[in-house]
Amino acid sequence: MKILTVDIGTGTQDIFLYDSRLDLENGFKLVLPSPTMIVRKRLQQATRSRLPVYLDGVIMGGGPSHWAAEDHIRAGLPLYATPDAARSFNDDLNVVKQMGVEIITEDEAARLPSDVINLTMRDFDFNSIVKVFQDYSVSLDDLAAVAVAVFDHGNAPPNVSDRQFRFDYLDSRIRAENRLSAFAYQAEQIPPIMTRLQAVADTMQEVDLPLVVMDTAPAAVLGATMDTFVSAREQVLVANVGNFHTLAFRLGADGIEGVFEHHTGLIDLDKLEKLLLSLADSSLSHEMVFGDHGHGALIYHSDSLNLAEGPFGVAVTGPRRNLLWHSVLRPYFAVPFGDMMLTGCFGLLAAAADVLPEISEPVKASLKRGGSLGTPPWELN
């Protein structure tokens, strides 16, 4: 059985091809530029060439592509976009128009000058990934499923904070189903408010395969728990320090005991340590994080986690995990199955096994074969 897992972040898209005939360490893997970085580079090339750009496709992650679009417009060059593609920059199309983007229909796009560069917006390009594997004589014709993770703020109603809307969503999922895989869905079960997850499903409509989509941060945290040192803890804090967002879960025997999410660019080592300590002793409040321009915090169990009791009370993953390298908390740098970059993919794989009963047995058997041991940073010379 083969399952394609793709964890799409701001900097990279991390790809793991699960094959039930192989140990997980021997699965084929790719770490490639993220889709938003690819669009950014192509937009920058068009800007340097002084060429107009037309964007079509669906909602995708912004950040680098958004900044490149703004630079293109500031250079005095036209930027056209269909409504769906334009919502990659903001769900409110009036805000996108104020950027200087001209919103047009596909019929209007057909009448654009021939020198306009056409870029397609999408987080997940299944055919391109298939082609890469084919170039190395690896066929994906026999896939049993596909699992994709993206970060989705959700489509907040007018005059509702995107940050609060996102955190209300996290809260609702945890209260409905207290497990990390609660943030994974089969394509037909995606909540309407999660427009980026739905856009991934839309790009897969012509592919007849079961699809699971999931939020990136819970996928990374779930993957980190498969590290042997992390899984040995009855209680543990797991932090995913991403390029844009830092999310930490306090996990215990009953599931998720607490959570916070903040913007990585607004925290330093001292602030992150304080957030983690407050999450551990249950003193962290939603107002403390939201008032600091983060998303928020929730405590579901008032008990405390004593980080002084034994090693590895804090585990960390994510592309900016080195923010905690010199932390007094002595965090453990998780490496499930020997590969930190694929932490999200392993979490996706585990969540897919929960969501799709038909793949559950072989996947769970593979995951139980054991993760790889990492080395705590304080033990390195």
DSSP codes, 92-122 = SHHHHHHHT-EE--HHHHTTS-TTPEEEEE-
For residue 146, report the phi and psi dihedrals to the nearest 5 degrees. -130, 140
Task: Give the pLDDT confidence of 226-284 residue by residue, as tens digits.
Answer: 998 898 888 899 999 999 999 999 999 889 999 999 999 999 999 999 999 999 999 99
2-34+125-216 — its CATH code? 3.30.420
Burial 304-324 (b: 16+ CB within 10 A, else e): ebebeeeebbbbbbbbbbebb
Domain 35-121 fold? Rossmann fold (3.40.50)
Task: Give how far the C-alpha of residue 166 lies from the chain's centroid of Cα atoms, to the nearest Å.
Answer: 14
Question: What's the pTM?
Answer: 0.93
Q: Output the CA–CA distances (angstroms, integers) from residue 49 to 45, 55, 74, 79, in the order listed.
A: 6, 17, 14, 14
Report, in this order, helix, strand and coil percent for the chain, each rounded to 5: 40, 20, 35
Task: Name the CA radius of gyration of the chain, rounded.
Answer: 21
CA distance 328 to 177: 34
Q: Where in the chain is the domain with CATH 3.30.420?
A: 2-34+125-216, 219-379
Q: Is 368 helix (H, G, I), strand (E, B) or coil?
A: coil
How does pLDDT run across 128-166, given as a tens digit for each residue?
Answer: 999 999 999 999 999 999 999 999 988 888 888 989 999
What number is the average pLDDT over the span 55-83? 96
Sequence ranges of the chain with CATH classification 3.40.50: 35-121
Please give the mean pLDDT across all residues of the chain.
Answer: 92
* Strands, E assignment, the chain: 2-8, 12-19, 28-33, 53-57, 79-81, 102-103, 117-121, 143-150, 184-186, 211-215, 236-241, 245-252, 255-263, 296-299, 314-317, 332-333
Sign of CA dihedral 306, 312, 318, 321: positive
Residue 222 has which token pair?
A: 């779930």
Average pLDDT estimate for 168-184: 94
pLDDT of residue 302: 84
* DSSP code for 137: T
Tokens representing residue 186 in the block: 């089969």
Architecture of domain 219-379: 2-Layer Sandwich (3.30)
Tokens encoding 23: 């140990």
Q: How confident is the model at residue 335 (pLDDT cuts 50, 70, 90)?
A: very high
> How would you classify residue 371: left for phi > 0, otherwise alpha for psi between -120 and 50, otherwise beta?
beta
